[in-house]
Amino acid sequence: MSSLRVYVLPESYEVKNKTLDDIKYVVNPTYTKENVRKLDKEVVTKWDLGKKKYIPGVYTALLWECGQTNVDM
């Protein structure tokens, strides 16, 4: 998972295609220090696919068994 390479199985050849770059970014996003500074200073309203408003942020899910934290930016 750390290499972010994509392979076709069972043939085991690597897929090299620029269309996968968006997916690779979502798996391993990078932010500048300025991006991080703005996270709690700028309130931005977004809409989900169901056209409901939400405010992106860090949320702690109430999943007692695994103590999961969700981040939505």
Q: What residue segments make up the domains of the chain, in order of their start?
A: 6-72
Has residue 66 got a pLDDT over 70?
no
Read off the pLDDT of each residue in 31-52 and give the average, rounded to a whole number: 84
The model's pTM is 0.39
User: For 7, phi and psi rounded to 5 degrees?
Assistant: -125, 150
Residue 22's pLDDT band (cuts 50, 70, 90)? confident
Give me the torsion for CA of 65, 56, 19, 4, rounded to 10°. -40
Residue 43's pLDDT band (cuts 50, 70, 90)? confident
